Amino acid sequence: MAILSNIRALIIDMDGVLWHGNNPLPGLVDFFQTLRQLNIRFILATNNASLTQQQYVSKLADMGVSVSPEEIMTSGIATALYLAEHEDPAKTRIFVIGEDGAKQPLLEKGFTLTDLYQLNTENTPGQGADIVVCGKDQTLTWDKLATASLNIRAGAKFIGTNADTTLPTEHGITHGNGAILAALQTATGVSPTIIGKPEPIMYQQAMSLLAVPPNLTVAIGDRLETDILGAVRTGIRSLMVLTGVSTEADLQHSDYQPTWVMSDIQAVTEALKAMTT
């Protein structure tokens, strides 16, 4: 068993670490009970921007785990925080490809969200958006992609909540937001600015909330190119579990490595318990 040490806070990914789709992974409840018992602070930080904080709280409650909204950080929340720091919400119009988890944080910061262009009429589109934000969207349509493309071609800034090309679900691995970004980039010739992992922005925001020194903070994730690389870029240690996208074989071809590799959160739980004995 890997030896853990000097851990006071965790930044924990969710998809592929805590669950597959709506199916909790074994040991989920015991994992969180152990964190509470050991007084290890945590932020659940996911690149998936589809759900709101409260929706994630409810999802975990259905799985037998109680967390507060303040313990949830999504790339949608991180995007809203980032844009509020760099733009004037009262003067900025945003078109969003995404679900409630991408839209609600922007509205809470005071941004105006624009509608779809009416592409099936002879009317001109009207006032466009200053920024296009693209996150995971299970109701993605041609009209949404067209509206985003037209706005970006007209000069709107192009922001991606995250660039995950795939997403682990209870049915297997399917396409992630990165696939949507690739379509828009192909259509416009413009590369998006990425807010989520592996960029350090979201990790830095989570660390600010945790108020724990970086040397006592560890990121847990399942994906080398986002969770682990993001930790490396942020300058914190990382732990990769093998229940999601990346495999032990992937480690052989990677220029960067996690600090620890474990099979699943059950193994993490046992290592955390051993840390105090």
Which residues fall within 8 angstroms of residue 52, CB to CB, at 6 or more apart? 74, 76, 100, 101, 104, 105
Report residues of the chain scoring pLDDT below 70: 1, 119-127, 277
For position 51, what pLDDT does the model report? 92
Q: What is the pLDDT of residue 166?
A: 81
Q: Which residue has the tokens 């009416």?
A: 118
Tell me how far apart the alpha carbons of residues 11 and 42 are, in angstroms, rounded to a whole number. 6
Q: Is 222 annotated as a binding residue?
A: yes
Structural domains in the chain plus CATH codes = 9-47+197-275 (3.40.50.1000), 77-193 (3.40.50.1000)
- The answer to whether the annotation marks 59 as part of a ligand binding site is no
Model confidence pLDDT, tens digit, residues 171-223: 888 888 999 999 999 999 999 999 999 999 999 999 999 999 999 999 999 99
pLDDT in the model for residue 220: 98
- C-alpha span between 150 and 248 (Å, rounded): 42
Quote the pLDDT of residue 125.
Answer: 53
Tokens 């996690």 found at? 258
Active site residues: 13, 15
| Terminal CA-CA length for the chain | 14
**62 marked as part of a ligand binding site:** no
In this prediction, residue 171 carries a pLDDT of 86
As a whole number of angstroms, the distance between CA 264 and CA 25 comes to: 8
Count CB neighbours of 215 within 10 A: 11
Phi-psi category of residue 131: left, alpha or beta, with phi > 0 → left and psi -120 to 50 → alpha = beta
| Chain segment 211-225, per-residue pLDDT in tens | 999 999 999 999 999
- E strands present in the chain: 9-12, 19-20, 23-24, 41-46, 72-74, 93-97, 112-113, 131-134, 157-160, 166-169, 172-175, 193-194, 217-221, 237-241, 260-262
Cβ–Cβ under 8 Å, residues 77 and 213: no
Distance, CA of 177 to CA of 20 (rounded, Å): 17
Q: Which two tokens stand for residue 146?
A: 């067209």
Task: Note the pLDDT of residue 122.
Answer: 57
Q: What global pTM score does this model have?
A: 0.90
CA contacts within 13 A on the Cβ side of 67: 27
Angle at which helix 265-275 crosses helix 28-37, to 10 degrees, equals 20
